[in-house]
Amino acid sequence: MATKLIAPSMLAADFGNLQRDTEMVNNSDADWFHIDVMDGHFVPNISYGMPVIAAIKKHATKPLDVHLMIEKPERYIEEFAKVGADIITVHHESTVHLHRTLTQIEDAGCKAGVVLNLTTPVCVLEDILPKCYMVLLMSINPGFGGQKFEEMTYQKVRKLRKMIDDQGLDTRIEIDGGVTDKNIEKLVEAGADVFVAGSHVFKSANPTAAIANLKKLANS
């Protein structure tokens, strides 16, 4: 069984102490940095762009998992790759020519993935699944941190895992939104592999311990 991965969301980090929080993740049991990019159009909020990602990359010793919550992400793929993205995921709902965009990500030297909004059914991925290193399922409505996990996610994970297994693929399933020590084991049971945690990590009294606990629960 593949090791389950933890990807702290830097959106919840202290931007006044970004190097400190980056180094905390480096020295923790986390596997990736999760980088949420929001444009104020595809989602209501605006987060950060290339300069902040480049600043994180300067100090990061683990892969950057860049989640583009932006309209027409194909416009910026090469730039995100240049500033240090290792994995780039784009929303199914945000790009017209999804296959072309995933190819563009691969050509830029990154691993390519697709994100589905909370109520987008997993069946839309049937034909594109072999192209996906990873599928990210939103377990909240994208755009803001700190939201409550939506229970419908468990069934979506099970359906997606069956699709992946039926096609004989090793595509990873990532969950983003409201992941905590209360639901991570059930998500693993449903078939998820990678877990984004923002508020649960960075708002805890001991972020390093919170990451270690999530990692332990996911792999127990």
* Helix intervals (H) in 27-152: 50-59, 77-82, 98-107
Token reading at 128: 């594109």
Dist. CA 64–CA 57, nearest whole Å: 8
Longest dimension (CA), the chain: 46
Active site residue 31: no
Token reading at 204: 């805890």
Dist. CA 139–CA 1, nearest whole Å: 24
- Phi first, then psi: give them for residue 36, nearest 5 degrees: -95, 115
CA distances from 216 to 10, 108, 171 (A): 21, 34, 22
Active site residue 36: yes
Instruction: Count Cβ atoms within 10 A of the Cβ of residue 38 and give its class: 0-12 exposed, 13-18 middle, 19 or more buried.
Output: buried
Coil, strand or helix at 214: helix
**Which one of 21, 36, 39, 193 is the catalytic residue?**
36
Coil, strand or helix at 169: coil
**Which one of 31, 39, 176, 193 is the catalytic residue?**
176
Dist. CA 219–CA 71, nearest whole Å: 35
What is the set of active-site residues?
A: 36, 176
